[in-house]
């Protein structure tokens, strides 16, 4: 019977084409929306992890409580030994040290007189150690606008907007003025090796990037670092795995020592925990509403498809076919239409999702003044659930609609069939 019904669906376009198209469009929209929401959320998480939070972060307890102030005076000491221990105990994580700091950049003229100044947000990272993966992780090479990546100590990168504001050219000298870990004043001159543009207003406003060794010397942080970031080697934030590592590390931390190292997961930082909970809740809500709306549309399609064929059902009953057999054949037919439409819609939706994953939508102009760290291009993200999520409205709603319309078969009275056929 299935083979017979399938041939009827494929050959009779007037009966099957519209339902299959409606199912395919509905399923495709469901898949694309699900992939886009997941990609948008994942992009913001990934951006924060790469530039600020890591999947895991080790800092002192005092630093964790005042992290928004960039307190270099509360930095970790004995960073080399701590890094060795972390790499030994948790080899499934890639560990790197960074220091974030703030100060003033002074630009001297040929006579040494100040010709420009500006507040800088400094990031010290392992730029000269190519094995650290920091250049790739922060997209520094692909973000270069002018010049090159620093090749030796004493060289720095500035955000392109910041450099233009200070009227700097490649090779010009800039002097950092700030305070050390011990609270004393520090000044150090750097050669500008290049400029970068990350496509984020928060980073492009006044970014100043140097190697971690320069920062240790400049800030009196010998064998010290502000933060040690950990990145899971899978490249994706897995909260359960991160929480297990955090629990193991913090078991050995002295709860009474404010300078003892403590580990945080991504959701513990930058209010990302509340953000993740809110986004997950709203994502599930919107996707649920969308699936429900598509289910109603597809349900109506199945309902109308059955009601329009009441005369056909009457003829089949008049020829002696049982009501149960007709009803079951309608359910199988609806299932086949749902399968065909869902399969076609899933293929279309996944194709669009892959296209959006590669190209995405540039939203940088909409948040040029935003202080939130988020990617300038929002992309979709393919995941395994996209292979089946469209079948929920595609199959269930189509079959359920046909089930309701098919109940009318049992109300048909054979005595009235000939009178209907005469009309």
pLDDT of residue 420: 52
The pLDDT-based confidence of 149 (bands split at 50, 70, 90) is very high
Q: Could you tell me which residues come within 8 angstroms of residue 212 by beta carbon, excluding any fewer than 6 positions away?
A: 97, 98, 99, 124, 125, 126, 127, 225
Span 360-403, pLDDT tens digits = 777 666 555 554 556 667 788 888 888 888 888 788 777 777 77
316 falls within a domain: yes
* CA 26 to centroid of chain Cα atoms: 24
State which of 234, 263, 288 marks the end of a domain. 234
318 falls within a domain: yes
- 93 with 158, same domain: the answer is yes
Contact (Cβ atoms closer than 8 angstroms) between residue 194 and residue 209: no
Determine the 3-state secondary structure of 139 from DSSP.
coil
Total number of domains constituting the chain: 2
pLDDT of residue 42: 77
The pLDDT-based confidence of 15 (bands split at 50, 70, 90) is low
Contact (Cβ atoms closer than 8 angstroms) between residue 175 and residue 218: no
Does 273 score more than 70 pLDDT?
yes
- 304 with 206, same domain: the answer is no
What tokens were used for 192? 């500008």
- 351 with 400, same domain: the answer is yes
243 falls within a domain: no
Residue 238: name the closest of 42, 31, 35, 38 by CA: 42
Q: Find the length of the chain.
A: 423
Mean pLDDT calculated for residue range 274-292? 72
Span 166-200, pLDDT tens digits = 889 999 999 999 999 888 899 999 999 999 988 77
Write out the residue range of the structural domain in which residue 136 sits: 56-234
250 falls within a domain: no
- 103 with 67, same domain: the answer is yes
CA–CA dist 49, 264 (Å, integer): 12
- 78 with 188, same domain: the answer is yes
Determine the 3-state secondary structure of 336 from DSSP.
helix
What tokens were used for 67? 């992290």
Mean pLDDT calculated for residue range 291-318? 66
Least confident of 62-71, 146-155, 335-344, 363-372: 363-372
- 68 with 7, same domain: the answer is no
Mean pLDDT calculated for residue range 231-260? 86
122 falls within a domain: yes
Span 45-59, pLDDT tens digits = 888 888 888 899 999
- 161 with 26, same domain: the answer is no
Burial 294-320 (b: 16+ CB within 10 A, else e): bbebbbebbbebbeebeeebbebbeee
Span 79-126, pLDDT tens digits = 899 999 999 999 999 999 999 999 999 988 777 777 888 899 999 999
State which of 212, 234, 256 marks the end of a domain. 234
Contact (Cβ atoms closer than 8 angstroms) between residue 123 and residue 208: yes
pLDDT of residue 397: 76
State which of 204, 234, 264 marks the end of a domain. 234
- 21 with 90, same domain: the answer is no
Within 10 Å of residue 377's Cβ, how many Cβ atoms?
Answer: 12
Residue 394: name the closest of 28, 34, 9 by CA: 28
For Cα atoms 50, 52, 55, give the angle at the middle one, nearest 5 degrees: 60
258 falls within a domain: no
29 falls within a domain: yes
Does 205 score more than 80 pLDDT?
yes
Span 325-354, pLDDT tens digits = 877 877 887 888 888 888 999 999 999 999
| Helices 323-358 and 13-48: angle between axes, nearest 10 degrees | 40
Q: What are phi and psi of 241, to 5 degrees?
A: -65, -45
CA–CA dist 200, 47 (Å, integer): 10
263 falls within a domain: no
- 8 with 149, same domain: the answer is no
CA–CA dist 180, 173 (Å, integer): 21
pLDDT of residue 189: 92
Q: How far apart are the first and last CA of the chain?
A: 31
- 61 with 40, same domain: the answer is no
- 170 with 297, same domain: the answer is no
- 177 with 305, same domain: the answer is no
């Amino acid at each position: 019977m299935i083979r017979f019904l399938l041939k009827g669906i494929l050959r009779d376009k007037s009966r099957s084409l519209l339902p299959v198209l409606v199912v395919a469009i509905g399923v495709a929209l469901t898949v694309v929306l699900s992939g886009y929401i997941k990609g948008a959320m994942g992009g913001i998480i990934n951006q924060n992890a790469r530039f600020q939070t890591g999947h895991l972060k080790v800092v002192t307890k005092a630093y964790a409580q005042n992290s928004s102030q960039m307190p270099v005076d509360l930095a970790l000491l004995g960073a080399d030994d701590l890094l060795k221990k972390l790499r030994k105990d948790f080899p499934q994580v890639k560990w790197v040290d960074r220091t974030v700091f703030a100060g003033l950049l002074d630009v001297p003229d040929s006579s040494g007189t100040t010709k420009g100044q500006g507040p800088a947000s400094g990031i010290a990272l392992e730029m000269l150690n190519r094995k650290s993966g920091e250049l790739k992780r922060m997209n520094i090479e692909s973000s270069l606008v002018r010049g090159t990546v620093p090749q030796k100590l004493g060289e720095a990168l500035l955000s392109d907007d910041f450099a233009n504001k200070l009227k700097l050219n490649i090779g010009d000298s800039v002097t950092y003025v700030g305070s050390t870990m011990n609270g004393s004043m520090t000044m150090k001159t750097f050669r500008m090796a290049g400029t970068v543009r990350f496509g984020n207003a928060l980073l492009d406003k006044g970014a100043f990037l140097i190697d971690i060794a320069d920062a240790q010397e400049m800030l009196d942080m010998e064998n010290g670092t502000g933060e040690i970031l950990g990145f899971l080697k899978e490249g994706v934030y897995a909260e359960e795995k991160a929480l297990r590592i955090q629990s193991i590390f913090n078991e050995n931390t002295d709860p009474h020592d404010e300078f003892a190292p403590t580990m945080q997961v991504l959701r513990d930082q930058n209010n990302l925990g509340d953000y993740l909970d809110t986004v997950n809740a709203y994502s599930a809500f919107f996707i649920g509403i969308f699936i429900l709306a598509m289910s109603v549309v597809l349900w109506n399609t199945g309902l109308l498809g059955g009601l329009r064929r009441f005369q056909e059902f009457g003829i089949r009953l008049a020829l002696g076919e049982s009501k149960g057999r007709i009803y079951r054949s309608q359910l199988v037919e609806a299932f086949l239409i749902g399968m065909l439409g869902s399969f076609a819609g899933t293929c279309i939706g996944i194709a669009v999702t892959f296209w959006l994953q590669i190209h995405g939508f540039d939203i940088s102009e909409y948040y040029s003044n935003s202080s939130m760290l988020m990617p300038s291009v929002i992309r979709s993200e393919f995941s395994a659930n996209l292979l089946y999520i469209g079948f929920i409205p595609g199959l269930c709603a189509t079959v359920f609609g046909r089930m309701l319309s098919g109940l009318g078969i049992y109300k048909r009275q054979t005595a009235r069939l000939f009178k209907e056929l005469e009309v």
